[in-house]
Amino acid sequence: MKPQKILLIAASLAGLLAGPMPAQDTGSPQLVLRSPEVADGGILPVEFTGDGGGATLPLEWDGVPAGTASCAVIMHHVDPEGKTKWYWVLYNIPAEIRSLPKNVKGVGVLGNNSVNGRTEYAPPHSKGPGEKTYIYTVYALSAPPQLSVEPAQVSRDVLLEVVKDSILGSAELKVVYSRQGGPGEDRGGRPPPPPAPEANGNPPPPAGKSNPAS
């Protein structure tokens, strides 16, 4: 056997023993969504809720995939029963845009919301006790959504069904909010602890009444 063939066989065997080559980093950017007002997993400032001014949260994103022709943003929440509520549907955002300012106007097209059904942002109120998680998602699309209905009929589900085959990438920003409770409840919706007993071991009297003389 010629020396050249022996070397080729040896090289092939070495390659098989070494296993598959690790995947090379293509350098493709990863889509990232953030806000200058709140970090991922942070508390949503009250001004962006129904308990405050009801402003839309400013958003910024980077790492838009090549071939992106349009973007969309959705804000939603899944309740304890597994039902999805959506508060903001914005689509037809030009591909060159990388941010939305607070109370954005004139960018993209608004779909409806599940709170009042209108084509507008519906700020969350976080009904019920405990913290709620709200999710902002940006979608990079290879083509603008081809919708056959008016914006007033474009719900979260309708938009996602239309764009499901044109999503090049997506990124989420999760925020938490707990509505300030009414009288007798704290921020988390929990009742206050019972009052401490008086020094003589008896519980304090109801408001407006006094202990009988001992």
Domain annotation for the chain: domains and CATH numbers = 34-177 (3.90.280.10)
Instruction: Write b or e for each residue in 109-121: b if 16 or more Cβ atoms lie within 10 A of its Cβ, otherwise e.
Output: bbbbbbbeeeebb
C-alpha distances in angstroms, 109 versus 6, 70, 144, 147, 203? Answer: 67, 12, 11, 12, 60
Query: pLDDT band for position 20 (50/70/90)?
Result: very low
Query: pLDDT band for position 180 (50/70/90)?
Result: low
Answer yes or no: are the C-beta atoms of 168 and 110 closer than 8 Å.
no
The answer to which of 47-51, 63-67, 122-126, 154-158 has the lowest mean pLDDT is 122-126
pLDDT at 179: 73
Other residues' Cβ atoms within 10 Å of the Cβ of residue 59: 22
